[in-house]
Chain A
Amino acid sequence: MSIQIENVSKKFGTFQALNNINLEIPDGQLVALLGPSGSGKTTLLRVIAGLETADEGAILFDGDDLTDAHVSNREVGFVFQHYALFKHMTVFENMAFGLKVRKKRNRPSPSAIKEKVYELLQLVKLEGYAGRFPSQLSGGQRQRVALARALAVEPKILLLDEPFGALDAKVRKELRRWLRKLHDEVHITSVFVTHDQEEALDVADQIVVMNEGKIEQQGTPDEVYDHPASPFVYDFLGNVNLFRGRLNHGKLSVGSAKLEAIGHQDAADLDAVGYVRPHQLAIERVKQSEDAIPAIVTFSHSVGPVVYIEMKLQDSNEFVEAEISKEEFNRLALTKGELVYVRPKEVKVFIPEDFVI
C-alpha cells in the first residue's frame, strides 16, 4: 500500500514540528525518515499512524483519505521506540492481543490465533519464548516481539519509531540486517525513523532527510549520499570539509586556489562555501593545478585500512580532513608539520544566503 502525505503541518504550542510536508511513499518499499532530534521525523511517523492529528493537510493510503480515521481503523502496525510491550502479559499474549481484541465476527478461533502466533514466533526466531514475560527478554528479543506483535494483525503498513535506538551496537547491526531480510520476505510498505545515517544508508530503499519540520531531500541512499541537495544533507550524511571563498563566474577562489563551481556560471562576486567529502580530497606533494590548496599536516591516525589525515589550510587556518588508503599514505610518506597540497576531486558549492550553518 502506498502512502501519500499532502501539505501536512503540525504545531505543538509555538513549535512548528511539521511544516507543509509533501511526500509519496511507494508501495512495498522500506523507507527511512532520517534527521536530527527535533526535525519532526517521529511526529510525521505518528501522524501517518494516526497517533497525532495533523493541523493541516491530508494523509492518504492508496488514494483513500484517512486523515480523520482513528488509529485502530488504519490497519497500521506501529513498533514503538521502547517497544511498549505489555509488561503483565507473556510473549504469546502480547502477540495475540491484536487478534483477541477484534470484534467477534472478525476474531479468529483460539486455535487459529495460536497457530498465527507460533508462525510469527518462528519468523522472529523466538520459538521457545512464548511463555516468557517481557522483563525476561533481552533488548533485541523485545524488539523482535514488538515487531511480531505489530505484524500479527496483518497491517497494510509497518511503522517503526527508532527501532534500533535502544540496542547496543552489535545487536543493532544484526537486527537491522534481519529487518532488511524480513522486509524482503514480507514485502510490506515500511517506514522507519532514525537519526543514524549509517542505519538509513544500510537498510532503506529510500531515504527522506528531514530538518526543522521540512523535507530536505528524498532519494535512494546513493542519490542522497553522493548528490546531497543542500548543505544540511551534506553535513548530516557523513563527514564533510568546508572551503569558504569568493564565487565568480563558475569559479570558487579559496585563497590562491580556484575550484570549479558547477552550476554557478552566472554568479558574480559572492561569498560561497565548497563542500567536499574527506574521501574526495586528494593529497599531493607538489602543486600541479590551480585547484590545489596548500595545507600543513597536523595529525594522522589509521582505522583499519583507512588513514585519516587532519590538515590546516595555510591561507585561512581552517582545518580539513582527508580519508586515504593506507597504501596511498605509505606512498606519500607524510609527516607532521609538512606542507602538502589538497585537491578536491569533487566539490559542490552552495551560496550561504539560502541557509544558516
Chain B
Amino acid sequence: MEPQISETIKQITTRKRKSSKESKWVKVVLIFIAILYLSLLLFIPLAAIFVKAFEKGFDVYLAAITESDALSAIRLTLLVAVIVVPLNTLFGVAAAWAVTKFRFRGKQILLSLLELPFAVSPVIAGLVFVLLFSPRGVLGPWLVDYGIKIIFSVPGIIIATIFVTVPFVARELIPVMQAQGTSEEEAAVSLGANGWQMFWRVTLPNIKWGLLYGMILCNARAIGEFGAVSVVSGRIRGLTNTMPLHVEILYNEYQFSASFAVASLMSIMAIITLIIKSMIEWKTNKQEGKGV
C-alpha cells in the first residue's frame, strides 16, 4: 500500500508544480503589463513635472513658489483643507455610526446619498452652488441683504470642497464598523460607561486606522479639487486662487516653469499622502493579522 500512496503524492505534487509553472508565466506577463501601464500614465508624467519645474534652474523654481500669489494660493489651499477635513471627519463618523449601529427607516437612502458626490460631476456640483448662492441665485437676494458673500470668495470654495469630499471618511468607516458590530459598545455600556466614555475608550480606538485613512483621502482630494472649486472661486489672484487653479493660470500665461514648480509642490504633497496611506495600510494589516 505504502509505496502506492507515496507514488500518488508524488504525482500530485508534480502536477501542482506544473500548474504553478504555468501560472508563473501569466504572473510575469500581468506584472509587466501593469508596470508598463503605470509607467506611461503615472511615473513618466510625474518625472516630467519635476524635469519641467527645474528646467530653468533652481532659482526660478524657488521664485515661482515663493512669489506672493503662489504663497497666497498655498495658504488658501491649506486653509480649505484645515476646515474641510475636520468637518467631514465629524460628519463621516456620525453618518457611519448612524448607519452601522442603528436600525432605522431610510437607511438605504442615506447610504446612497452618501455616495452621491462621487456620482455627480464636480463641475455640476460647483454650478449648483452658483445657482444657489450667487446674487441672482435662489438664496442670493437674502445673502446680499445680510452682506454675505459666498460665490467668488473663500466660503464658496470651502462649501464646494466639502461637497466633493463628503463621502471619504464615511465610506472608509462603514465597512470597518459593520465588521466590528456593536457588541464591544454594548459591553462598555453594560459595564457602566456613558456615551462619551464608550466612544473615546472603545469605539475610537477600534476605528482609528480606518478613520485616519479616510481623513487622508479626504485631505488629498480637498487639496487637489479643481472642477467644483474653479466654478465657484472666480480665480481672483491672491484672494480666491487655490493651488490647482494657480497652476492652470500660470500655464495659460505660458509661465511653464513656474506652473510646473507649483504642480511639483502638489505632487510632493500627494506622494507624502501616499506614503502615509501605505503606512496605515501596513499597520492595519498587521493589526488584522493579529486577529481576535
Contact = CB atoms under 8 A, between A and B. Distances in A.
A86 B202 contact: yes
B115 interface: no
Nearest to A149: B191
Contacts of A77: 190
Q: How large is the interface on A (under 10, 10 to 19, 20 to 34, 35 or more residues)?
A: 20 to 34
A150 B191 CA distance: 7
B290 A97 contact: no
Of B189, B192, B193, B291, most buried by chain A (CB within 10 Å of CB) is B192
B108 interface: no
Contacts of B190: 49, 51, 71-72, 76-78, 150
A81 B183 CA distance: 9
Interface residues of B, number: 19
Contact of A80 (B186, B192, B202, B292): B186
A177 interface: no
A129 to B, nearest CB: 15
A78 B186 CA distance: 9
Given A84-B184, A134-B292, 17 more contacts: A51-B186, A70-B189, A72-B190, A72-B193, A78-B187, A80-B187, A86-B187, A86-B201, A88-B206, A98-B191, A101-B191, A101-B193, A101-B201, A102-B192, A149-B187, A150-B191, A153-B192
A301 interface: no
Contacts of A133: 290
B205 interface: yes
6 contacts: A51-B190, A71-B189, A72-B190, A72-B194, A86-B184, A86-B205
B183 A80 contact: yes
A84 B291 contact: no
Contact of B193 (A80, A82, A85, A97): A97
Chain A CB within 10 Å, residue with most, of B187, B194, B201, B291: B187
Nearest to B192: A72
Contacts of B194: 72, 101
B228 to A, nearest CB: 38
A170 interface: no
Residue of A49, A70, A97, A133 ringed by the most chain B CB atoms within 10 A: A97
Contacts of B193: 72, 97-98, 101
A308 B191 CA distance: 49
A78 B182 CA distance: 14
Contacts of A149: 187, 191
B197 interface: yes
A258 B183 CA distance: 55
A80 B193 CA distance: 16
Q: Which of B183, B191, B292 has the most CB of A within 10 A?
A: B191
A86 B200 CA distance: 12
B186 A84 contact: yes
A87 B191 contact: no
Interface of A: 49, 51, 70-72, 76-78, 80-82, 84-88, 97-98, 101-102, 133-135, 149-150, 152-153
B123 interface: no
Nearest to B193: A101
B192 A85 contact: no
Question: Max chain B CB contacts within 10 Å: which of A78, A88, A153?
Answer: A88
Contacts of B292: 85, 87, 134-135
B90 to A, nearest CB: 22
A102 B201 CA distance: 13
B128 to A, nearest CB: 37
A87 B192 contact: no
Contacts of B189: 51, 70-72
Contacts of A88: 205-206
A81 B187 CA distance: 11
Interface in B184-221: 184, 186-194, 197, 201-202, 205-206
Contacts of B202: 86
Contacts of B206: 87-88
Contacts of B186: 51, 71, 78, 80, 84
B190 to A, nearest CB: 4
A291 to B, nearest CB: 53
Contacts of B197: 101
B199 to A, nearest CB: 12
B233 to A, nearest CB: 43
Contacts of A72: 189-194
A84 B191 CA distance: 12
A274 to B, nearest CB: 45
B191 to A, nearest CB: 4
A1 B122 CA distance: 62
Nearest to B186: A51
A356 to B, nearest CB: 31
Nearest to B204: A88
A129 B206 CA distance: 22
